[in-house]
Amino acid sequence: MPKQPLHKRFFIWRIKNISEKNFTYILSGLVGLLAGLAAVTLRNITFTIESALDNLVVFSKNQVYFILPVFGLFLVYLFTKYVSKKKVEHAIPSILFKLSKRSGLIERSKIYIPLITAPLTVGFGGSVGLLGPAIASGSAISSNLGKLFHVNQQTRTLLIGCAAAGAISSIFKSPIAAIIFAVEVFSLDLTFASLLPLLIASVSSVLTSYFFLGDDLLFNFNFADKFEIKDTLFYVALGIGTGFASIYFTKMYFYILKFFERFKSRLVKLTIGGLAIGVMLYFIPPLYGEGFGFINNLLAGNHLAALGTTPFDSLNDNIWVVIALLIGITVFKAIAMTTTFAAGGAGGIFIPTMVMGSALGNVVAKIINNLGLGFNVSETNFTLIGMAGLIAGVLHAPLTAIFLIAEITGGYELFIPLMIAVSMSFIIKKNAIDFTIYTKELALKGELLTHDKDQSVLTLMSLDSVIETNFVKLNPNMTLGDMLHKGVAKSTRNLFPVVNKNKALVGIILLDDVREIMFNQALYDTTLVEDLMHNPPDIIDYKTDSMKAVMVKFQDSNAWNLPVIKDGKYLGFVSKSKLLTAYRRQLINYTTT
C-alpha cells in the first residue's frame, strides 16, 4: 500500500495528538512570525528604493518630483498589467469583503503582490502608507495557512485578525494597540478564545521585528511634557478640530475617487494623478512617501526640518508662514493620498492619517502659543494627540488610537488628554458619517461584519444556500386541466411559480387557490392559469437584496415563501423555515469557541 503524502500524514497526526484549541495557538504564533517578516520585508524593500533614488538623484529632489511619482505608478501599472494581471485592491476593504463573503479565503497571489506594488508606489513618492499592504500580505499568508491545515471559517477569520495584529505590532512595536486594532477593525469578539491567539501573534511579530531591526523605532521620541489640567479646553478644541478634519478626510477621499472614475483609461489616470502628485510634492515636500520623517521632526520640535526645502524658504522665519505651510500639509495630505490611489498606486491610509493628524495638532499648538494671549502648550503633546484624534475619527478606532500613542510615548502620561480628544473626534465623525473609508462600500451593500452578532450572522449567510428550485413552473396560458395534470399531480409542493416564455415570473398560484375548483371538470378547458394567479407578497432580488433585507421582507409580508429573481428572471424560492434553520446553524457556528 503506497504511503500517503507527508502533509496528509501530518494532518492525521495533528488531529490525533493536538487539540483544536492548542493548534490554533500554534498557528497564531506562526502567523505572527510570518506577518512580521512580511512587514519587515516590505519596509526594507521600500527603504532600499528610497535610498537608491537618493543616491541617483544629483539635483534637488524638488526638481524631479514631477517625474518620480509618475515613474513609480507606471512601474506598478506594468506589473499589474503584464505580470500579476490583477488590479490593485485597497487592502483592508478587500480583506473585510473576503471575511464576509468569501469565508476568509484569500488568493495566494495576494501574499507577494503587495510586497511589490506598495514599495514601488511609496518608494517613488506616492503619498500612502505601508501598513495596509503589510496587513494584506500577512492576511493572505494566514488565510492560505488556514486552508492548508483545514481550519474552519471561524478560526481562519481569527488568524486573519492575528495577521493584522502582527503587521501593526511589527511596524510600530506596539503589541497592545495591534490587538485592539484587530478587534475594532475586523470586529473580532474580545473573548479569551480570541484574545490569547491575538496576544501570541502580536508578541511573536514584535519579537520578529526586534530580531531583524533591533531597537530601531519609527518614532524617535522621548516623553518630556506632562499633562496639565489648565490645557483641558485646548485638548477639547483639538478633539473637535480632528473630528471635522476626519470628516474632510473621508469626504475628500470619496470625492477624488469619483472624479477619477470619469477617466476610463488607466494610463490617463496614471498620468494625471502622477503629475498632480508631483506638483503637490514640489510645493509641499513632506507629502513625499509615508511621512515618518515629517512626524519625527515635529516631535523633536524642528519644524524647519519637517517642512524641508520649499519655494517659501525665505519666509520661514515668520511663524505664521510656517503655520500656513503646516495647514497646507493638513489639507493636501488627504488629496495626495487619494490621488495616489486613484492613479493606480498601492498603499494604506493609516499612516497618512497619522501624518495629517500630527500636522493638525502641531498647527493648533503653534496658533495657541503665538496668539499673544499668554498661553503656552506643549507642541509635542498636541502633535501626538492630533495623530490619535485623526485615527479615531477616520478609522473609527478610538481605542487603537489611545493605546498606539500611549505605547509610542512609552507610558500613560497623556491618557487623559488622549481620551478627551479621541472621544470628541470619534463622536463628531461617527454622527456625521457612520462609515469609514474601509467600510462604506460593504456597509451600503449589507456585507459588513460588525460587533452585532445578529447582523454578522446574516452577513455571513449565503442566499444560494437557502434557495430552493424544486417547484413545478406553470405557463400563464396553461388551462386548469393541464395545470392539474402537468403541475399539481407531479409536484410535492403546494406552491407554483407562473413563468412566461422569457423566464420572467408573472405570478404565483397556491394549491389553496384552486382547491375549491380543482374537481370541477367543466372549468378544466375554460379557465386559464393567468385567471388564477396573483402577485407574490414580495420578491427577493438576488443581486441587490442582502440577507438582512430578505429577513425584513419575510417579516413585513408574513409570507412563508418568497420568489427569487435574478436579472429579471425567475430563479427559485426561499422558505422562511429553511431561512431560519440556516440562520440558527450559522449562529451556532459563529458563536462556538
SS3 sequence of 116-172: HHHHHHHHCCCCCECHHHHHHHHHHHHHHHHHHCCCCHHHHHHHHHHHHHHHHHHHH
Q: State whether 306 and 372 are in the same domain.
A: yes
> Cα–Cα distance between 327 and 333 in angstroms, integer?
10
Q: At what angle do helices 153-172 and 20-56 cross, to 10 degrees?
A: 40
Of residues 188 and 297, more confidently modeled: 297
Strand pairing of 540-541 and 561-566? parallel
Q: Among the ranges 215-224, 292-301, 356-365, 402-411, which has the highest mean pLDDT value?
A: 356-365
Q: Is residue 582 part of a domain?
A: yes
State the average pLDDT over residues 234-249: 95
List 499's β-bridge partners, or say none. 505
Q: State whether 66 and 10 are in the same domain.
A: yes
Q: State whether 30 and 66 are in the same domain.
A: yes
**Where residue 223 falls among pLDDT bands split at 50, 70, 90?**
low
Buried b (16+ CB within 10 A) or exposed e, 67-86: ebbbebbbbbbebbeeebee
Q: State whether 275 and 328 are in the same domain.
A: yes
What are φ and ψ of residue 154, in 5° steps?
-65, -45
> Cα–Cα distance between 560 and 558 in angstroms, integer?
7
Number of C-beta neighbours around residue 304 at 10 A: 12
Gyration radius from the chain CA atoms: 29
**Where residue 308 falls among pLDDT bands split at 50, 70, 90?**
confident
Least confident of 23-27, 40-44, 212-216, 328-332: 212-216
From residue 234, give the alpha-carbon distance in Å to each of 245, 299, 311, 351, 417: 16, 19, 32, 25, 9
Counting the structural domains of the chain, the total is 3
Q: Among the ranges 33-47, 84-98, 460-474, which has the highest mean pLDDT value?
A: 33-47
**Where residue 338 falls among pLDDT bands split at 50, 70, 90?**
very high
State the average pLDDT over residues 559-570: 88
**Where residue 247 falls among pLDDT bands split at 50, 70, 90?**
very high
Amino acid at position 107, single letter:
E
> Cα–Cα distance between 115 and 38 in angstroms, integer?
8
Q: What is the pLDDT of residues 90-106, one digit of tens each?
A: 888 888 878 777 777 88
Q: State whether 459 and 441 are in the same domain.
A: no
Of residues 316 and 348, more confidently modeled: 348
Q: Is residue 309 part of a domain?
A: yes
Q: Among the ranges 72-81, 149-158, 572-581, 583-592, which has the highest mean pLDDT value?
A: 72-81
Question: For the sheet containing 467-468, what is the strand order?
Answer: 467-468, 569-575, 561-566, 540-541
Q: Is residue 218 part of a domain?
A: no
Q: Among the ranges 8-22, 158-172, 534-548, which has the highest mean pLDDT value?
A: 158-172
Q: State whether 175 and 36 are in the same domain.
A: yes
Q: State whether 206 and 234 are in the same domain.
A: no
Q: Is residue 244 part of a domain?
A: yes
User: Which residues, in sequence order, are CB contacts of 578 under 8 Å at separation 6+?
Assistant: 466, 468
Buried b (16+ CB within 10 A) or exposed e, 17-35: eeeeeebbbebbbbbbbbb
What are φ and ψ of residue 475, in 5° steps?
-100, 140
With a cut of 60, say whether residue 200 has pLDDT above it: yes
Helix or strand or coil: residue 564? strand
> Cα–Cα distance between 184 and 194 in angstroms, integer?
13
**Residue 173: domain span:** 6-213
With a cut of 60, say whether residue 451 has pLDDT above it: no
Q: State whether 155 and 35 are in the same domain.
A: yes
> Cα–Cα distance between 518 and 514 in angstroms, integer?
6
Q: Is residue 580 part of a domain?
A: yes
Alpha-carbon torsion angle 325, 331, 335, 337, nearest 10: 80
186 DSSP 8-state letter: H
State the average pLDDT over residues 496-516: 86
Judged by phi (left if over 0) then psi (alpha if -120 to 50, else beta), residue 414 lies in alpha
With a cut of 80, say whether residue 303 has pLDDT above it: yes
Domain stops at, among 395, 429, 447:
447
Please answer whether residues 187 and 157 qualify as being in contact, where contact means their C-beta atoms are separated by less than 8 angstroms: no
Please answer whether residues 380 and 346 qualify as being in contact, where contact means their C-beta atoms are separated by less than 8 angstroms: no
Q: State whether 408 and 477 are in the same domain.
A: no
Q: State whether 165 and 313 are in the same domain.
A: no
Q: Is residue 268 part of a domain?
A: yes
Residues in the chain: 593
User: Which residues, in sequence order, are CB contacts of 441 under 8 Å at separation 6+?
Assistant: 93
Helix or strand or coil: residue 112? helix
pLDDT at 423: 95
**Where residue 456 falls among pLDDT bands split at 50, 70, 90?**
low
pLDDT at 330: 92
Q: Is residue 222 part of a domain?
A: no
Q: Is residue 394 part of a domain?
A: yes
CATH at 327 = 1.10.3080.10
Q: What is the pLDDT of residues 132-187, one digit of tens each?
A: 899 999 999 999 998 888 888 788 888 998 999 999 999 888 889 999 888 888 77
Q: State whether 431 and 564 are in the same domain.
A: no
State the average pLDDT over residues 314-336: 87
Domain stops at, among 447, 474, 490:
447
**Where residue 85 falls among pLDDT bands split at 50, 70, 90?**
confident
With a cut of 50, say whether residue 593 has pLDDT above it: no
**Where residue 222 falls among pLDDT bands split at 50, 70, 90?**
low
Q: State whether 175 and 196 are in the same domain.
A: yes
With a cut of 80, say whether residue 592 has pLDDT above it: no
pLDDT at 487: 80
Helices (H) and strands (E) in the chain, counts: 26, 6
pLDDT at 263: 87
pLDDT at 211: 84
Q: How much of the chain, in percent, has pLDDT values that exceed 90?
A: 28
Write out the H or E segment, with its range, that includes residue 554. helix 547-557
For the chain, the distance separating the N- and C-terminal CA atoms, rounded to the nearest angstrom, is 39
Q: What is the pLDDT of residues 386-400, one digit of tens each?
A: 999 999 999 988 999
CATH at 548 = 3.10.580.10
Helix or strand or coil: residue 388? helix
Q: How much of the chain, in percent, has pLDDT values that exceed 70?
A: 89
**Where residue 86 falls among pLDDT bands split at 50, 70, 90?**
confident
Please answer whether residues 208 and 36 qualify as being in contact, where contact means their C-beta atoms are separated by less than 8 angstroms: yes
